[in-house]
Amino acid sequence: MSPARRGPLLLLLGVVTCLLGLAAALAPVDAEDPVVTWPRAGQAPESTVLPLAPYRPLEFSATVPCAAAAALGEGDVLRTMPAAQENPVTAPGFVASVSGGTLTLRTGDRVLATAPAASGCVFEVTSADGGTVVTRDGAVLAERLDVAPPQVAELATDVTGPAAAGLAVTLYTDARYASSPSPLKVALLVAHLLALAATLAVAVRTWTGTRRVFDAPVRPGVADLVVLVVSCAWAVLGPLNIDDSWYALMARQGAETGTIGNAIYQFDVTEAPFTTSQYLLQWWGSLVGWGLGPLRVVPVVLGLLTWVLLRYTLAALAGRVGVRPGVVAALAVAHLAWFLPYGISLRPEPAGTAAAAGVLLLVAAACRTGAVGLLAPAVVVAVVGMTTAPTALVAAVPLLLALPLVWWHLVHARWATRLATVAVAFAAASAVVPLGLADQSLADVRESVAVHRWYYFQYQWYSEFVHYANLLGPDDQGTWGRRLPVLLTVAVLALGAVRLATRRGTGGPLGRALGFALAATALGLVAVAVSPTKWVNHFGAVAAPATLLLGIALARGPLPRHAPLRLVAVGTAVLGVVAAVVYAGPNLWRPFSDWGQPFGNHSVLAAPINQQVLAPHLGPLYLRSPLLWLLVAAAALWWAGRRGRTPRPDRAVLRVATAGGVALMLVVFGVAPVQQAPGASVASMNLAMLTGDGCGLADALAVTVPDEATSPPPPPSAPPRLTGVMREGPPPDRPSIPGPVWHTEDAGTGTLDAGWFAVPAGTTRLLLPLTGDLRSDQSVRIDTGAGAVTVDLPGEKLGDWRDVAVDLPGPADRVRLVVDDRTDGPDTWLAVGAPLPARELPARAVLGDAPVFADQASAVLWPCQDQIAVRHGIAQAPQWRLRTGDNLEGATESTAFFAANGGTLAGIDRTATFDELPSRLDPPAGRAMFAPAHVERVRYEHPTDGYDLTVGTQRRWGWERLPTLATRDYTGRDFLG
């Protein structure tokens, strides 16, 4: 068939593909319809923890017998939120309570009904999106359209025995995103993919070019081997990104539930349509496990794919010059400069970068050959990239460079071909449907976007300076390694713009390739600017065109070969200043990757010290010194003079800064595990995981646990002696713990002599429970027959109980607890429990197979633990909480438990307390460092399984939208986006 006759066929295929894509987007999904019934069948009502996520059920109904209220007298017949956690705005729960002989039914502060607490009647409360209805013995008593279903973290009752008969709750949890395509949608998706494949095949064969793509073959060489070896080594040595665990948790939960949700906050709403990279990670993690080392195979493969695609792109742009060994070596240095700090991440950027490199290659090939048909698969690849993350809009910007070719094609074509071109473009863009909407409805994705905008602060495009301000900051985002590729690329971009403006050095193969890379990089930085957030990690999205630009500049020089002397001087000065700013950044690579790092004491993080002490240096010579880069330029001038060549100080500074940074990264991270030995490091844990016999921190940590034979602790041998404001029992705002407990009140001083406790003969270590606002003028002492030891207090205000390890001066068979609280002021108090004999065990033995929550900064270093998930609209209850250390506690500990942001474990936080056990690295660290991790036992107010769960399914069309979560009435959170 001739190209002219294929026009109508392409038009038909394009239209059919678009229609099938639209139909698939609107086709129904089969979503979970979980129903919770309480009490369990055949059992009496007993209080249970029920942490819904999202917090409100879609439907809620409660049966409250008046007989239960009459038998109780005073208290709560039914409660869905702990009294201490209930808030009428942020946490409105349902309560049926009895006081003064009156039964009151309310949600939050909205009273639904009141009645005498007398037997003989039954109240029914039903809540859904349309409001709340209260009936008494079948007759409507109240109808409140403004009262939504209550938030639910527990189903609790004070009623016991036969009087509780008839008390019941039925609720439908909100599991809207736990969906899969219906048979109709599957059929439409398959038909759409077949039509899309046919459209692409015909387009490529119809709109062909007139030239070859490559003038010379692209053969493997030394540079390729170096990239391969360094990339594989970097899977072991490279720094852990603070978001790696977050994305691994989403993929891991998706492997269990079938849905890629946020897993940490924003109610676990779907990440669709930005899920392509997580599905890739989910597939691989399901095969090899969820440790950092095995999962890093994905970004390594994506990085190598990016490298191959960029090599072919340069060959397509520059012909035979693009495959010369020197040019390829320059590209390899540029690639590693970007890959080492940004490309090893489990975040979506590596996948988006690979897609962007694929688009660059297809666009370069199309522009070189005139083959417009190659732009159709280029659009599909761009869509693949864009479905990884919002910042991956960078993958689509190279298509703008092909607009002149498309315009020429349209101008010289017939109307049938013009219409076919538009149809093919839309058909290729419809690839977003199978990638982003395969198992979610269009309405659910719209709701997800609304939730993200409501609960997450988003920067506008005109706040792009925040991106660079973070990059230049003194903390982890401003590390010199992360500054290196970004700032050098921006400098090259500025100097390249001067080159284009002066029309110097724009000819020749590399000159034309430089112009292409300049335009693609500039557009890429604009695309990153319009993304909703400004974290430094997002700069990795522009790595593909930026690598191409930086590589060409390294090979050819950032300035024209015969540039005027004044331009060379200015360009060299600019690059020297940029290099100095790069290496002024601190050598901070938290979490965990700082362990064993050189350049200063990494357990000191005050901002001025970051810049002054942790910046790279060789003895007293700091690489941030502008004098050093002036010497590099002078050495280049001297060398050029000796060889009789044109001076290129600008290229010398750029090459030394870039290649030196790559070499320094490899040295720093190669030395770190050696200096950390024999203690654990990220590299040693990765190596153990890759060999299949490593459990990360579970192997590296030793945890002090109470001796089970003496738990709970026995009472002291004699009554304790208390003075001042010392009281017996737990403080009012803390839960009780096993064994005797004492506390001081806010104002005044007090002492405690708890007497002697018998412990097993030979005891050398104790656990002492502590909480309160612990100050330096409080003293806690343990006496033994062999001497006394003063307990080191944490020196901070503790939110929960913390077990402090106490090493005795010698073996003991009895110990005495003595407390002296000399603080006298508001909010100055402490509480202490009876000491318990303890022993130290490996964390793996302590945790066993119990369900845990490892947080979003450390989960990939706990690969062997049974990580909880949000399933059927309910957050699984962990027995242990594993929090990151490394001085990042404040940045990570509350995120999943912060209700105002839709934290998925807010219901757990409302019904549980967390008791930390002492832990340490075993063997100890080789260099100074912060606490590595926190191991906390989770204690619940009620049992966690006192209900029945039945999971059905319901079919929803793509346009059917359920009640929104993006409203102030849901959690009290105002609009942030």
CA within 13 Å, CB half, 514: 32
In tens, the pLDDT along 706-746 reads: 887 666 777 787 889 999 889 898 887 777 788 889 988 87
CA distances to 108, 662, 726, 881 from 550, rounded to whole Å, are 59, 13, 68, 45
In tens, the pLDDT along 14-52 reads: 999 999 999 999 999 999 999 999 999 989 999 999 999
Q: Which residue did the predictor score with more confidence, 370 or 828?
A: 370
Q: For the chain, state the CA radius of gyration.
A: 32
Reduced to 3 states, what is the DSSP secondary structure of residue 881? strand
In tens, the pLDDT along 157-193 reads: 999 988 889 999 999 999 999 999 999 999 999 999 9
Reduced to 3 states, what is the DSSP secondary structure of residue 739? coil
pLDDT of residue 888: 86
Name the average pLDDT for the chain: 90
Q: Does residue 485 have a pLDDT over 90? A: yes
pLDDT of residue 264: 93
Q: Does residue 610 have a pLDDT over 60? A: no
Q: What is the model's pTM?
A: 0.93
In tens, the pLDDT along 199-222 reads: 999 999 998 888 888 888 899 999
Segments of 834-975 assigned E as strands = 836-842, 851-854, 866-867, 870-871, 874-875, 880-884, 912-917, 919-921, 933-940, 948-956
Segments of 117-203 assigned E as strands = 122-128, 131-136, 139-144, 154-155, 168-172, 179-181
Q: Are strands 122-128 and 830-833 parallel, antiparallel or unpaired?
A: unpaired
Tell me how far apart the alpha carbons of residues 901 and 111 are, in angstroms, rounded to a whole number.
Answer: 27
Write out the two tokens for 263: 């897993």
Q: Are strands 866-867 and 851-854 parallel, antiparallel or unpaired?
A: parallel
Report yes or no: 261 and 868 within 8 Å, Cβ to Cβ. Answer: no
Write out the two tokens for 822: 């000399």
Tell me how far apart the alpha carbons of residues 542 and 524 are, in angstroms, rounded to a whole number.
Answer: 6
- Average pLDDT for residues 625-652, to the nearest whole number? 82
* Residue for token pair 């993200």: 452
Report yes or no: 653 and 495 within 8 Å, Cβ to Cβ. Answer: no
pLDDT confidence of 638, banded at 50, 70, 90? confident
Left, alpha or beta for 95 (phi > 0: left; psi -120 to 50: alpha)?
beta
pLDDT of residue 505: 55
Tell me how far apart the alpha carbons of residues 532 and 464 are, in angstroms, rounded to a whole number.
Answer: 10
Tell me how far apart the alpha carbons of residues 870 and 876 are, in angstroms, rounded to a whole number.
Answer: 6
Residue type, 832: V
pLDDT of residue 601: 76
pLDDT of residue 609: 56
Write out the two tokens for 116: 């005498």
Nearest to 478 by CA among 621, 547, 581: 581
In tens, the pLDDT along 562-592 reads: 778 888 888 899 999 999 999 999 998 988 9
pLDDT of residue 667: 96
pLDDT of residue 710: 64
Q: Which residue did the predictor score with more confidence, 294 or 611?
A: 294
Residue 121 backbone phi and psi in degrees, to 5: -135, 165
- Bridge partner residues of 727 (DSSP): 743
In tens, the pLDDT along 876-896 reads: 999 999 999 888 887 777 899
In tens, the pLDDT along 71-124 reads: 898 899 999 999 989 888 889 999 999 998 899 999 999 999 998 888 788 999
Q: Does residue 749 have a pLDDT over 90? A: no
pLDDT confidence of 2, banded at 50, 70, 90? low
Cβ neighbourhood burial of 708 (10 Å; 0-12, 13-18, 19+): exposed
- Examine residue 34 and say whether the peptide bond preceding it is cis (omega within 30 degrees of 0): no
